[in-house]
Amino acid sequence: MRNVLILGSTGSIGKTTLDVLWRNRDSHHVWGLVANTDAALMFKQILTHDAQFAAMSDPQAGQDLARQVAEHGLPAEVLSGPQAAAELAAHPEADTVVAAIVGAAGLGATFAAAEAGKRVLLANKESLVCGGRLLLEAAARSGAVLLPIDSEHNAILQCMPPAGERGAVERIWLTASGGPFRGWSMEQLKTVRPEQACRHPNWRMGRKISVDSATMMNKGLELIEAHWLFGLPVERIEVLLHPQSIVHSMVQYRDGSLLAQLGEPDMRTPIACALDWPERLQSGGAAATPGDWVFNFATLDADAYPCFVLAREVAQKMGAAPAVLNAANEVAVAAFLDGALGFTDIAAVVAGTLEKLDLAEPASLEEVFYVDAQARSVAGELLVRYQR
């Protein structure tokens, strides 16, 4: 029986993970849940899944949850505050930690899980983007296992040879749907509203990652993530547009072979894959129906996706630049979702922040947080120039 802790249980990935775990409750126990402010949904999750521990990053939400748990006589222990997630992530009873807190907010708990030698299922790509070298070093010291649950990197995981045989790999191909605005002109993109950007044609995702998919920043972050996860130089990681999201990614071998992982666009599939890897679980996901599939690939038009271009440039530079990129993007996307920034100005804010900051590569998690804070400050100042 695996004891599973979900960091970000009330978000899109968290809720999908709970769906998969419910189908496999004979072998996987929902040991703990972590969220930010949604105490009402967290209480329902505790009731449904009989979680032993729950944590709310927001102290007031933690008080609200603790009151509900006490009133109903539930045995769950409730923690609250900014350090609660990391405390549970390092708890000796939790052996599997699903890192699904969006953005830099998930860094501390993800690192705590890696340092404690857990089996870490990564949906929080920012941990690798902002501190990839540090996270891999922590995992190597502790014996932690890092398994990706986003669809592209999970596909690569399934297509890669064992670690000792990776010299046979020539190239990785990440696929990208192109988001909801594929083929739009720059003039059209200037009019994009938040609700349009959050309406992905293939996937149901949270608001922030939906915007990142629309700008293709998400694919740039995934490129950096793939570099750290699979040890290939950025120059050997390519991106192809694939509007149907059926081929989730591909690995090209030296002998000319090309291995691909295919399936319907359903996040339950990669989550189930990682939960018991290399064994397989029932996911409840959409069954693959190859006879119905018609799909195509296209090269990426860099001019249409300036955020991806910025991310690729950062990936070639590395150092502190990925953490700066991520922080500036989070600030800009939040402003866009609030209606205070235009869609095409997201890239402008990120580019301006990268131009203003030239910091050394972080040598500790504390330095990662320092770089993150500096970048947020500069991006916040730049917002004034572009805000509506």
Cα 61 to Cα 39, 67, 96, 107: the distances in Å are 6, 10, 25, 21
Q: Do residues 29 and 80 both lie within one domain?
A: yes
Say what the pLDDT of residue 117 is.
98
Tens digit of each residue's pLDDT (9 = 90 or more) over 328-356: 999 999 999 999 999 999 999 999 999 99
90-130 confidence digits (pLDDT tens): 999 999 999 999 888 889 999 999 999 999 999 988 899 99
Helices (H), 116-150: 126-142
Structure token digits, residue 328: 């500036």
User: pLDDT tens for residues 215-226?
Assistant: 999 999 999 999
The answer to whether residues 139 and 213 belong to one domain is: no
Whether residue 313 lies inside any domain: the answer is yes
Domain, as residue range, for 124: 2-148
231 three-class SS:
coil
Q: For residues 215 and 307, give the distance between their C-alpha atoms in angstroms, rounded to a whole number.
A: 6
Q: What is the CATH number of the domain that holds 51?
A: 3.40.50.720
Same domain, 127 and 253: no
The predicted model gives 248-268 an average pLDDT of 95
Residue given tokens 């002109």 in the structure block: 185
- Using the 8-state DSSP alphabet, how is residue 67 labeled? H
Q: E strands along the chain, which residues?
A: 2-7, 28-35, 53-56, 77-80, 96-99, 119-122, 145-148, 169-176, 237-241, 247-253, 258-262
Please check whether residue 239 lies inside any domain of the structure.
yes
In a domain, 358, yes or no: yes
What would the DSSP string read from start to end of 251-296? EEETTS-EEEEE--S-THHHHHHHHTTTS-----PPPP-GGG----
**155 located within any domain:** no
What is residue 98's DSSP assignment? Answer: E
% of residues, the chain, pLDDT over 90: 80
Q: Is residue 368 part of a domain?
A: yes
Q: Looking at residue 347, what is its pLDDT?
A: 96
92 and 144: one domain? yes
- Which residue matches tokens 């890192």? 99
Domain boundary among the residues 92, 120, 148 is at 148
Statement to judge: residues 101 and 203 lie in one domain: no
How many residues appear in the chain? 388
In a shared domain, residues 198 and 127? no
Q: Are residues 218 and 101 in the same domain?
A: no
Query: Rounded to an integer, what distance in angstroms lies between the CA atom of residue 223 and that of residue 297?
Result: 18
User: For the segment 34-89, what is each residue's pLDDT rounded down to a tens digit?
Assistant: 999 999 999 999 999 999 999 999 999 999 999 999 999 999 999 999 999 999 99
- Mapping DSSP onto H, E and C, the string for 2-28 reads EEEEEECCCCHHHHHHHHHHHHCCCCE
CA angle 291, 295, 298 (to 5 degrees): 165
pTM of the model: 0.91
Coil, strand or helix: which one is 298? strand
In this structure, the answer to whether residues 170 and 312 fall within a common structural domain is yes
Same structural domain for residues 143 and 170?
no
Query: What token pair was written down for 111?
Result: 């690192």
List b or e across 39-67, with b for residues whose CB sees 16 or more CB atoms inside 10 angstroms: bebbbebbeebebbbbbbbbeebbebbbe
* Residue at which a domain ends, from 85, 116, 148: 148
**What distance in Å separates the CA atoms of residue 271 and residue 291, rounded to the nearest whole number?**
25
Nearest to 224 by CA among 357, 110, 137, 318: 318
pLDDT of residue 14: 96
DSSP string, 324-382: HHHHHHHHHHHHHHTTSS-TTHHHHHHHHHHHH---PPPSSHHHHHHHHHHHHHHHHHH
272 within some domain:
no
Shared domain check, 310 and 209: yes
* Secondary structure element (H or E) that encloses residue 307, with its range: helix 306-317
The structural domain count of the chain equals: 2
Q: Does residue 286 form part of some domain?
A: no
Domain ends where: 119, 148, 177?
148
- Tokens 């059209």 map to which residue? 188
Residues 322 and 199 in one domain: yes
Pair 72, 213 in one domain: no
CATH number of the domain at 187, please: 1.10.1740.10
In a domain, 299, yes or no: yes
- Could you read off the pLDDT of 152-166 as tens digits, one per residue? 999 999 999 987 777
